[in-house]
Each structure stands twice: as C-alpha cells, then as structure tokens.
Amino acid sequence: MNETKSIQVKVVAFGVLQEIIGTSSLQIECLPELSWVKDFLLQSYPGLSKQHIQFAVNKQLVSDNITLSEGCEIALLPPFSGG
C-alpha cells in the first residue's frame, strides 16, 4: 500500500501576488508536489492565473515540478522589472 501523506508548507507571496491572495503568507496542507500547490493556488485564487509567477522553494528558483518536504517555504514571485 503506497499512500502519499500530506505535509504542511508555508506559502509567501510578494507584490501584486500578495494583493491577489490577500495576505503575505499562509500555511497549507498539501501533497508533497509543487504541481499540487500550484493547482491549489490557482483554484483558490483565480486572479493568479492572469499572472506570470515564478516559484522558489526554500529560496531556490524552480521551473519544474519538484518533491516538497514538510515545512518548506514556497515563494510566489511576480515578474521582475528592469531598472
């Protein structure tokens, strides 16, 4: 029996993404996959679907689905503008 257990992660949002979510951080219970968190956030906050979001897990930018661990921090980063 291979049952995947849920984990707790912290999601932090910056810039316009924080405004869409309505808070700077939240704790969620999820399956240990970044794709699960992405789907959950897009369903919970439809305004995110109109944004280009970069994800960082424990302060490392990621572009693919990765396996998450208990207590990790997922940052939602808005597009960066040049200056």
pLDDT of residue 80: 76
Instruction: From 30, 33, 37, 35, select the one nearest 7 (Cα to Cα).
Output: 30
What is the pLDDT confidence band of residue 4, given thresholds at 50, 70 and 90? confident
Q: Is the dihedral of CA 3, 27, 71, 55 positive or negative?
A: positive
pLDDT of residue 79: 81
Poorest-pLDDT segment among 13-17, 32-36, 61-65, 79-83: 79-83
Angle, CA 62 vertex, CA 14 and CA 74 arms, to 5°: 45
Tell me the domains of the chain and their CATH numbers. 7-77 (3.10.20.30)
Answer whether 0.85 is exceeded by the pTM: yes
The residue to which tokens 């572009």 are assigned: 63
Q: Return the amino acid letter for 65.
A: N
What is the pLDDT confidence band of residue 81, given thresholds at 50, 70 and 90? low
pLDDT of residue 41: 97
